[in-house]
Amino acid sequence: MSARPLALLAACFLAGVVAGRAVPDATPVWGALALAAALTLALFRKRTLAFALAVMLGALHMSLFLVKPDVSRAEGVRLTGYVDAEPRKTDKALRLRLSRAEIDGEPLPCRVMLYLYDMEAIPACGDRVTATVDTWTPRGAGNPGGFDYAAWLWRQRVALCASAGADSVLSVDPPDSFSLPRWTQVLRGRVAAVIRGAFSEAGAGVALALVAGDRSEMSEELRDNYRASGVAHLLALSGLHVGVLMAALEWALRRLRLSRKASFLVTLPVMAVYALLVGLPASVLRACLMYAAARLARLEGRPRDGLSLIALSMLPMLLADPLCIEDAGFILSYSAAAGLALFARPWPERASMHRSLPARCGAKLLAALRVSLAAQAGALPAMICLYNQIPLWFLPFNLALGPLVALLFPLLLTAVALSALCPALAAPFVWVSERLVAFLSAATALGARLPLALVNASDWPAWLIALYAAAALCASPYVRFTRAGRRRAWARAAMPALVALGLLLPRLGGQSGLEITFVDVGQGDGAVIRAQGRTYLVDTGDGSAMAEYLLNRGLEPEGVFLSHGHSDHVGGLLALVDDFPPCPIYVSAAWDGEPPDEAVALAWEKATAAGWPVVRLRAGDELLLSPDVTMTVWHPGGPEAHGLNETSMVCSVSYGESTALFTGDLPMAQEFIPLPRCTVLKVAHHGSKYATGALLLDQARPDAAVISVGHNSFGHPAPEVLARLEGAAVYRTDERGAVTVVLGKDGSTRVTTWLSEGEP
């Protein structure tokens, strides 16, 4: 408290911000507590009360930022706003963020995210866009560990979304005056054009990532290789890049005989322009603020301390926007910086000038090893909770490739600058950079092929993160003990033990009985069956939602049942192959008779090439999923079926008196088959009016019905189907998120949903 009051103050304020996020609707409570702490501090003047006040002020600050304006959805309204961020082109739409937005002439108290479909021309930053749109409020994460779209938008002060076709855009007008977002977009575009013109396609993708922070032109395979090798952070602009850039610039200015103070004053605006150019990511802001604080301390003759520098950079960011604590870049950057501050302090030199060359090289290697371990130790809990995977071989690849990237970055900057001025002079730098990029790509591809390149890990609970942080602090030199050496050794030993505990936690709690979770995969189907501790999937949805859910829960599938070859049921198999070891894929005997979707064919090819065995099933087949849980196949069978929907595999899962029935996209024309009485029904074809007819419901008579559906233009679920399901409890994944059903052996049913009723 006396040695580093600023670091402790920042830690208390951060703790308050986290508390305010955990209890978001308690603004009056936090305000009253902050007032009480301030009055107590004024009366008693105790230093500890100042830190208590920092906690309360942090919580109050966060709860005020969580207050969203009251906006509602509407159709066919006139939206006007100014593009204030670089437009993003996705597979389906053009995404524009609008500020100073108005609806039918009424100003909005928030920004708007506008999605334009079939739009060829792309507006620029600063343009004024007017369109006739439909609006809606964004929804939060539909699954545990899923992407919280509403929170991501609100970090940008967006509380309302809108969509329109290109023919509904009434006008796009350029700005009348200077626009900073437009200037940075133009500058970024010119840098990208220079890089594309100077480098090959593969080299340009990595060069754009390292120079401008844009990884969109890197192939998905290359990004996965960097991640599996544990060096994905080298592509993210961070302290390494800022440090190299600033050190090179200061060195050049010092060679021009400028004083330290003059060099610093010249470097500051360059640093600001670079931060704007790369889009102001949290990691770059942290590095710039820490750099400025460290240089100012040196100029003033004050000591520089890692924890105090972290505090000096963190407090302005939290004051400006406490919601940044939810940003992955902020979390990873500061956790890695904390690890470096705690564990990477230089060891005393022992007459290094008189040591042999091998000894000096060994000392340098040990120093690099210590730095890499320190950063990874600090960032490990964040990596697990954000990505649910640990790159096992991160240490050797960071030691080998970290210095290479530190060398490559200034080479790329030089190559880009010379390419813009004189391409002939840039040729040698481009050639060397291309060779280094090729070596990086080959090395990361090798790392991705190593056994156990990525180890899956479920989210850590808060108590485990707190224990790990306490052990890290006790293991550092910042905490003083009696018999410090022994206690620090115990703390260091506790850290890997806690990591091992985190990996084992999902396996320590046994699961008995039958639990089925209908995962929110959008407009698609995907369910997870947990049968007495064993995990199976029925369809996978499209995209990565199913894989993310399994990783978050620490589950590993032992079998995957696929109803039919449409991508909204099978497309997620592609992500499963990347993240999990092979397990059997169960399909109907009619699978080969109908060509699947193109995306399904790609996923199928990848799965079979990776060694996932295929088992074909027919009506009447039974499989024992666990000692007391049985899977029975009911269709294809009966009337002749044509097309993917008609050949959907229909199966049931039975546990004592309880049964769950899965119907794929089965249409009413194929309901002339015997079906069991069921406790829970997965409604066919996302609630299409051409499915789940009277014949099926007369046999099934479900107590609960789950409709797996997302935003769509088909009218799913149809009012006719909802009327036919009267008498059963109906749960929709588009309204309630993931739906979990626990089935008892006695026929009892307990249903829980990830989103409460009425929650957006």
Q: How far is Cα 81 from Cα 84, in angstroms, rounded to an integer? A: 9
Q: 596 and 711 share a domain?
A: yes
pLDDT at 351: 45
Residue 488 has pLDDT above 80, yes or no: yes
With respect to residue 243, please indicate whether it lies within any of the assigned structural domains.
Answer: yes
Residue with tokens 């006040």: 53
pLDDT at 464: 94
Q: 61 and 91 share a domain?
A: no
- At 760, the pLDDT band (50, 70, 90 cuts) reads very low
> Could you report the per-residue pLDDT of 426-465, keeping only the tens digit for each?
889 999 999 999 999 999 999 888 888 888 988 899 899 9
Q: 544 and 646 share a domain?
A: yes
With respect to residue 188, please indicate whether it lies within any of the assigned structural domains.
Answer: yes
Task: Provide the 10 A C-beta neighbour count for residue 582.
Answer: 13
User: Are the CB atoms for 375 and 339 separated by under 8 Å?
Assistant: yes
Q: Is 82 helix (H, G, I), strand (E, B) or coil?
A: strand
> Could you report the per-residue pLDDT of 512-565, keeping only the tens digit for each?
789 999 999 999 999 999 999 899 999 999 989 999 999 999 899 999 999 999
Give the H/E segment covering residue 96. strand 94-103
Q: What is the CATH number of the domain that holds 555?
A: 3.60.15.10
User: Are the CB atoms for 431 and 405 separated by under 8 Å?
Assistant: no
Q: Tell me the average pLDDT across 681-708.
A: 94
Residue 420 has pLDDT above 90, yes or no: no
pLDDT at 401: 85
pLDDT at 564: 93
505 residue type, one letter = L
For residue 721, give every residue at least 6 positions away whose Cβ sits within 8 Å of its Cβ, in sequence order, or none: 683, 687, 688, 689, 691, 692, 707
List, in sequence order, every residue forming a beta bridge with 78; answer none if it has no partner. 132
* Cα 477 from chain centroid (whole Å): 33
With respect to residue 385, please indicate whether it lies within any of the assigned structural domains.
Answer: no
751: nearest Cα among 705, 686, 715: 705
With respect to residue 362, please indicate whether it lies within any of the assigned structural domains.
Answer: no
Q: 553 and 473 share a domain?
A: no
Q: 487 and 430 share a domain?
A: no
In sequence order, what E strands does 567-671 have? 585-588, 614-617, 622-626, 629-635, 650-655, 658-662
Q: Tell me the average pLDDT across 410-424.
A: 88
Q: How far is Cα 442 from Cα 208, in angstroms, rounded to an integer? A: 18
Residue 257: phi and psi, rounded to 5, are 70, 20
- At 121, the pLDDT band (50, 70, 90 cuts) reads confident
Produce one character per residue of 605-624: b if its CB has 16 or more CB atoms within 10 Å, e if not: eebeeeebeeeebebebebe
Q: 165 and 296 share a domain?
A: no
Q: Tell me the average pLDDT across 328-356.
A: 73
> Could you report the per-residue pLDDT of 146-162, keeping only the tens digit for each?
888 999 999 999 999 99
Q: 564 and 634 share a domain?
A: yes
Residue-averaged pLDDT of the chain: 87
With respect to residue 94, please indicate whether it lies within any of the assigned structural domains.
Answer: yes
User: Are the CB atoms for 647 and 616 separated by under 8 Å?
Assistant: no
Is beta strand 526-531 parallel, antiparallel or unpaired with respect to 749-753?
unpaired
* Cα 552 from chain centroid (whole Å): 12
Residue with tokens 């520089």: 304
Q: 587 and 650 share a domain?
A: yes
Least confident window among 61-70, 277-286, 703-712: 277-286
Q: 263 and 204 share a domain?
A: yes
Residue-range definition of the domain harbouring residue 493: 462-508
Q: 278 and 320 share a domain?
A: yes
Q: Tell me the average pLDDT across 293-315.
A: 81
Q: How far is Cα 730 from Cα 704, in angstroms, rounded to an integer? A: 6
- At 349, the pLDDT band (50, 70, 90 cuts) reads very low
Residue with tokens 């990783």: 551
Residue 345 has pLDDT above 80, yes or no: no
41: nearest Cα among 28, 52, 29, 27: 52
For residue 15, give every residue at least 6 positions away whose Cβ sits within 8 Å of its Cβ, in sequence order, or none: 55, 58
User: Are the CB atoms for 525 and 568 separated by under 8 Å?
Assistant: yes
The torsion of the CA quartet 288, 290, 295, 296, rounded to 10 degrees, works out to 110
Tokens of 748: 């009892």
Q: For the CA atoms of the chain, what is the radius of gyration?
A: 29
- Choose one of 440, 456, 472: the last residue of a domain: 456
Bigger pLDDT: 256 vs 570: 570
Residue 116: phi and psi, rounded to 5, are -110, 125
Q: Is the peptide bond before 717 cis (omega within 30 degrees of 0)?
A: yes
Q: What is the CATH number of the domain that holds 120?
A: 2.40.50
In the chain, the number of structural domains is 5
With respect to residue 374, please indicate whether it lies within any of the assigned structural domains.
Answer: no
For residue 417, give every residue at least 6 positions away whose Cβ sits within 8 Å of its Cβ, in sequence order, or none: 426
Produce one character per residue of 625-646: b if its CB has 16 or more CB atoms within 10 Å, e if not: bbeebbbbbbbbbeeebeebbb
Residue 179 has pLDDT above 60, yes or no: yes
Tokens of 297: 């301390």
> Could you report the per-residue pLDDT of 206-241, keeping only the tens digit for each?
888 888 888 888 888 888 888 888 888 888 777 777
Q: 208 and 118 share a domain?
A: no
Q: 211 and 270 share a domain?
A: yes
- Choose one of 65, 94, 110: the last residue of a domain: 65
Residue 684 has pLDDT above 90, yes or no: yes
List, in sequence order, every residue forming a beta bridge with 132; answer none if it has no partner. 78
Ramachandran assignment for 429, one of left (phi > 0), alpha (psi -120 to 50 degrees), beta (any other): alpha
With respect to residue 635, please indicate whether it lies within any of the assigned structural domains.
Answer: yes
With respect to residue 680, please indicate whether it lies within any of the assigned structural domains.
Answer: yes
Q: How far is Cα 275 from Cα 520, in angstroms, rounded to an integer? A: 37
Produce one character per residue of 678-703: b if its CB has 16 or more CB atoms within 10 Å, e if not: bbbbbbbbbbbbebbbeebbeebebb
* Number of Cα atoms under 13 Å in the Cβ half of residue 223: 10
Residue 1 has pLDDT above 80, yes or no: no
Length of the chain: 760
For residue 36, give every residue at least 6 positions away whose Cβ sits within 8 Å of its Cβ, in sequence order, or none: none
Tokens of 331: 């979390």
Q: How far is Cα 323 from Cα 659, in angstroms, rounded to an integer? A: 44
- At 612, the pLDDT band (50, 70, 90 cuts) reads very high
- Choose one of 508, 534, 568: the last residue of a domain: 508
Task: Provide the 10 A C-beta neighbour count for residue 9.
Answer: 18
> Could you report the per-residue pLDDT of 580-595, keeping only the tens digit for each?
999 999 999 888 887 8
User: Are the CB atoms for 705 and 721 separated by under 8 Å?
Assistant: no
User: Are the CB atoms for 133 and 168 separated by under 8 Å?
Assistant: yes
112 residue type, one letter = V
